[in-house]
Structure 1
Amino acid sequence: VTPRAGQRRSTPPMPPVRRIELPGAGPEDVVLGADGLVYTGIADGRILRVDIATEGVEVVANTGGRPLGLCAVGDGSLLICDAHRGLLRWTGTEIEVLVGAVDDGPLNMASNVVGDPRDGTVYFTASSRRWPLELWMGDLLEHSGTGRLFQHSPDGTTATLLDNLQYANGIAFAPDRASLIVAETAAYRLNRYWVRGPKAGTREVLIENLPGFPDNIALGSDGLIWVTLAAPRNPLLDRLLPAPAIARKLLWRVPDRLMPRPARTAWVIAVDHAGTIVHDLQRDGADYAMVTGVAEANGTLVLGSLDESALGLTHLPS
């Protein structure tokens, strides 16, 4: 395990986080829309539009499920991964289901999504075949390896590009859009999947042995891939990683008060196209914690969280 996993703040630390309170909990992902405003989805299904300058918050839609990863499209629409309903699109006036089922049944735990503006192809992840969002820790304990990367084409067909991923999560285009960067939360790594060029259709590891659990990721205005680390690595989970599946499943018999809990922290990193860490920003989670979404624009960082009832706002250190 990397020594960085045991540290609780970066050098320099992440600057203080300003909270923008929301009318509900769990803004799991954040994206910047074509209108310059921030969009997020909260636990009760509502999609919110937030002006970070005025702190104004407006409800624009409701998925009827649990929205997670988002992607803002240039025409003003929004692609939405909904843990209960699948891959959705908000047109600006209504919610439509793009993918509600795949070959083996209903699409479970759609996690994050990105659209290619050149041809309309949509790429998205699903974290687990076995576990619902409400029991996400079960997948990490079991290490089920049932996450997937999908491609949804403009003709309406959906294909599996990668299978057996360890809790597939965040997805973003590399700056040249020749490849996708895909986070595997339970494997502590980022993968590169080539969609164009001589390596098209192949996968390689971009960065591994991350010091925390990577969640949503996003391409920043600086050309870097911004990665949220929702929590530091857990020593118990690391010890269980090579253990037989039956040993990991026995943890479900442990009283809830003794189960491993994510340590409270606010943590994001940024990596370049080669997987080199350019920024590492962490602070204690006293005011804001479990960062699962990030959007960067001109040095400003907008943060989302599976647990908080607010967005977080911070910036690159001077």
Structure 2
Amino acid sequence: MSRPPGGAARTRRTAPLVPLHYLALGGRGPEDVVADPEGRVLTGLEDGRVVRLWHLTDPARARTEVVAETGGRPLGLELLPDGQLLVCDAELGLLRIDPADGVVRVLADLVAGEPLRFCSNAVALPDGSVYFTVSSRRHPLGRWIGDIVEHTGTGRLLRLAPGSDTPEVLLEGLQFANGLVPGADGSFLVVAETGSCRLTRYWLTGPRAGRREPFADLPGMPDNLWRARAAGTARADGPIWVALAGPRVPPLELLHRTPPAVRGAAARAAVHAPFRPTGHAGVLAVDDGGEVVHHLARRRSGFRMVTSVCETGGHLVLGSLWERGVAVCEAPATK
């Protein structure tokens, strides 16, 4: 059952997030994780490598191989039906990688003459259009906490038409635009706004096409979004998985109501202060009406700052901007 636009998502009872094992990757920051049809997982690391993980659900057989090196900082990944890989690189823009030979091609690196920086997450739709987010136009990835504190609202949703190298700006004013997934019927997109602890719906078709509306208010800060695809297609399948990079912070929400000068001063202090994520780890799954169908959490987690989650082989795989590997956890029973 869908809920009226603007209402908070009704959260189901929280279940434990049960860790099974951890796989070190020899590099830091597997920020986004995506599963391919063969059950392998791809992720990008701080040093620019994009790696493929084999047999993650069997620790004795698990192994890692390098697919490509972007020369920048890969964040969000999107697998295409033809096996190609879209990569949002925080330094280089929107890229396309052929995993067969590791060739990296730049699809877009400018927006209205401005360098495309802090590109965060992308999805490709059946018509060949690519939609992607920019988290901040004010703070780079290395100063991401400054944008969360300052609450700049400079995040964007963009579209790259088939055959074009010039992105079109669809939405501005997003609070740290992050994860992105399509609705199951392709009529809308869901965008994570990390800085506002919410998901926003952007309509692609129908009488509300081109408009945004609240989709779900969340108990934490959403980062990357993921949902399964029907085999060999770009059609969405299954619930929308949401990684919660951290819990809500009431003092931060109060700060967001203060004048810009106050928030700016707080942001300048935050980017120079030592950062250590909380021990809270959490993930959600929501349906196409914004209702929570799973909420898994662990209060004293050794795996911190969960920035992505995907499902493969009956397990959940967690990525993190902070950690040096990925965590494999129990998946909830299908509802």
TM-score over 0.5 for the pair: yes
Tell me which of 139, 145, 155 is aligned to 2:147: 139
**Unmatched 5+ residue regions in structure 1?**
1-9
**Whole-angstrom distance in 2 between the partners of 1:187 and 1:266:** 18
Corresponding residue number in structure 1 for 2:262: 247
What secondary structure does 2:329 align onto? Answer: strand
Counterpart CA distance in 2 for 1:135 and 1:196 is 36
Contact 2:85 2:96 in 1 (8 A): yes
SS in structure 1 at match of 2:51: strand
Q: 2:188 aligns with which of 156, 160, 179?
A: 179
Q: Which amino acid aligns with 1:23?
A: G
Deviations 1:255-298 (A, max 9, x none): 87867754222210011111111100011343211110111246
Amino acid corresponding to residue 148 of structure 1 in structure 2:
R
What's the Cα RMSD here? 2.0
Distance 1:249 1:297, change over 3 A: same
Note the C-alpha offset of 1:133. Answer: 0.2
Question: Within the alignment, does 1:86 sit opposite 2:105 as a pair?
Answer: no
Residues 162-202 of structure 1 show CA distances to partners (whole Å, capped at 9, x for unaligned) of 11111000001111121111001101110111112332212
Aligned to 1:154: 162
Which of 199, 204, 211 is residue 195 of structure 1 equivalent to? 204
Q: How does 1:37-52 map to 2 (within 5 A)?
A: 37-51=40-54, 52=56
- Partner-residue secondary structure (3-state), 2:146: helix
| 3-state DSSP of counterpart to 1:287 | coil
Q: Which amino acid aligns with 2:212?
A: R
TM-superposed deviation, 1:74: 1.4
Structure-2 separation of matches of 1:77 and 1:223: 22
Counterpart for residue 223 of structure 1? 238
Structure 1 counterpart of 2:226, one-letter code: A
Deviation at 1:253, TM superposition (A): 5.8
Give the letter aligned to residue 248 of structure 1: R
In the alignment, residue 83 of structure 2 is paired with which amino acid? G
C-alpha separation between the residues in 2 aligned to 1:141 and 1:213?
13
- Give the drift of 1:104: 4.5
Which one-letter code corresponds to 2:129 in the other structure?
Answer: T
Which of 127, 131, 149 does residue 119 from structure 1 map onto? 127
Is the counterpart of residue 16 in structure 1 residue 48 in structure 2? no
Q: 1:16 to 1:35 in 2, by over 3 A?
A: closer
Match of 1:169 among 178, 190, 201: 178
In 1, distance between residues paired with 2:243 and 2:77?
Answer: 15
> Distance between the aligned counterparts of 1:129 and 1:256, measured in 2?
16
Indicate if the aligned counterparts of 2:150 and 2:267 stay in contact, CA closer than 8 A: no
Q: Does 1:286 align with 2:286?
A: no
Paired with 2:268 and 2:145, the residues of 1 have a C-alpha distance of 14
1:2-27 per-position Cα deviation (integer Å, ceiling 9, x unaligned): xxxxxxxx742111242111111100
1:272 paired to 2:268: no
Q: 1:255 to 1:27 in 2, by over 3 A?
A: closer
Note the residue ranges of structure 2 that are not aligned, 5 or more in a row.
Answer: 1-12, 230-236
> Is 2:221 the partner of 1:213?
yes
Q: Please give the alpha-carbon distance, in whole angstroms, between the structure 2 residues aligned to 1:168 and 1:257.
A: 23
CA drift at 1:308: 0.7
**Once the two structures are aligned, what percentage of the paired residues are identical?**
47
Quote the residue 1:61 is aligned against: 68
For 1:271 and 1:17, how far apart are their aligned partners in 2?
23
Measured in 1, the distance between the counterparts of 2:300 and 2:69 equals 29
Moved more, 276-285 or 124-133: 276-285
Give the match for residue 105 of structure 2. 96
Q: Is the contact made by 1:39 and 1:50 (CA closer than 8 Å) also made in structure 2?
A: yes
What's 1:106 paired with?
Answer: 115
CA distance in 1, matches of 2:252, 2:274: 11
Relative distance call for 1:283 and 1:161 in structure 2 (3 A) is same
- TM-score normalised according to structure 1 size: 0.91
Aligned to 1:3: none
Q: Which moved more, 1:232-241 or 1:54-63?
A: 232-241
The runs of 4+ residues in structure 1 deviating greater than 6 Å are: 255-260
